[in-house]
Each structure stands twice: as structure tokens, then as C-alpha cells.
Copies of this chain bind each other. A is one copy, B any other.
Amino acid sequence: MMSQVLSEQSTCVGAFVALLRAHAGITRQLSAQLTAEQGLTLSDFEVLLRLSRADDRRMRRVDLADQVLLSASGVTRLLDGLERHGLVARASCDSDRRVVYAVLTDAGLERLRTAAESHFGQVDAYFGTRFESDDLASLTNLLDRLAEGHPETEDCGPPDEYGRASR
């Protein structure tokens, strides 16, 4: 009677917990695979991917940070690693000397190709075994709504294929 502080819980809490669990489970598995087989973290991969899509295969670090949901310093350090491995290079900007572009190198593109094949396959496998295609669609839709209207995610640019709300 007294220690059950939280017996009557809202459905919202249930949904939240379900999200936490689903996320933990899936990222653990997929990121372990990606790390083991390709030597890339999920964030590494996402960065390489966004760069491959960008004009001239280059992006400002700030924009990268927004799209990959990392802080500015997170991006700096993540790119440090990718630069050390030659997957990304830095380039300066003529019109604004504060900015340092991150440029995907040929090696980086090659690496991304290999990794993408394996990684996307695993994502498909993961979801494919659990969902029919219309469930998949509603899940995506619901999750998109959940991510909407974040202070930091407001006023989104046009969505692209990978990053759904490119912010």
C-alpha cells in the first residue's frame, strides 16, 4: 500500500519504456555488428553516409552535428578519428574562414560502400523478421511524430532519405 509508489502508471510511461528497450536492444546488436565487421561505430557510419550524399561530398561540421544528433565537440572528435584513418579530410572554406569542411575521401567512400552493404542488410534483417511492411510504415510514422517539435529539431529543412527530419 505504501511502497507501491507507482502502481498506476500512465500508458505514456509504458510507451517510453518500450522505446528505451527497443532502442537499447537494436543499437546494441547493430552497432556491435558494425564495429566488429567494419570497425565503424553507428555515428561514424552515419557521418560517412551524410557526407556521401552532400554536394562535393563535403559538409560543415555544424551541419553534420545537427544531422547526426551529436554536439559540436562530439563531431570534432569523431572526425578526428575518421581523419586519422583517412576516410575523411579537412578543407577550408574560401568565403568563411571559420568553417572547416569535412570531406569524404575516396577511401572513405569505398569503406562506406562495403559497410553500407552489410549494415543495411542487417537493419533489413532485424526489422524484416519482425514486421510486415505496413506495420513498418506505421512504426516509422509514429516515431517521426515522436521526434517532431523538439526545441533543437524545429524548423526542419527538407527531409532526405536517410535522415528523416534533416532539421
Interface residues of A (CB under 8 A from B): 3-7, 9-30, 42, 49, 52-53, 57, 69, 109, 112-113, 116, 120, 123-124, 126-131, 133, 135-140, 142-153, 161-165
A12 close to B162 (CB less than 8 A): no
- Chain B's closest residue to A142 (CB) is B139
The 5 closest A-B pairs by CB, nearest first: A18-B143, A12-B127, A22-B146, A23-B23, A22-B143
Q: Report if A21-B116 is in contact (Cβ < 8 Å); known contacts: A11-B136, A142-B138.
A: no
B5 close to A127 (CB less than 8 A): no
A165 contact set on B, CB distance < 8 A: 21
Contacts A6-B116, A7-B161, A25-B150 known; list 7 others, CB within 8 Å.
A3-B109, A5-B116, A9-B120, A14-B164, A16-B26, A25-B153, A130-B145
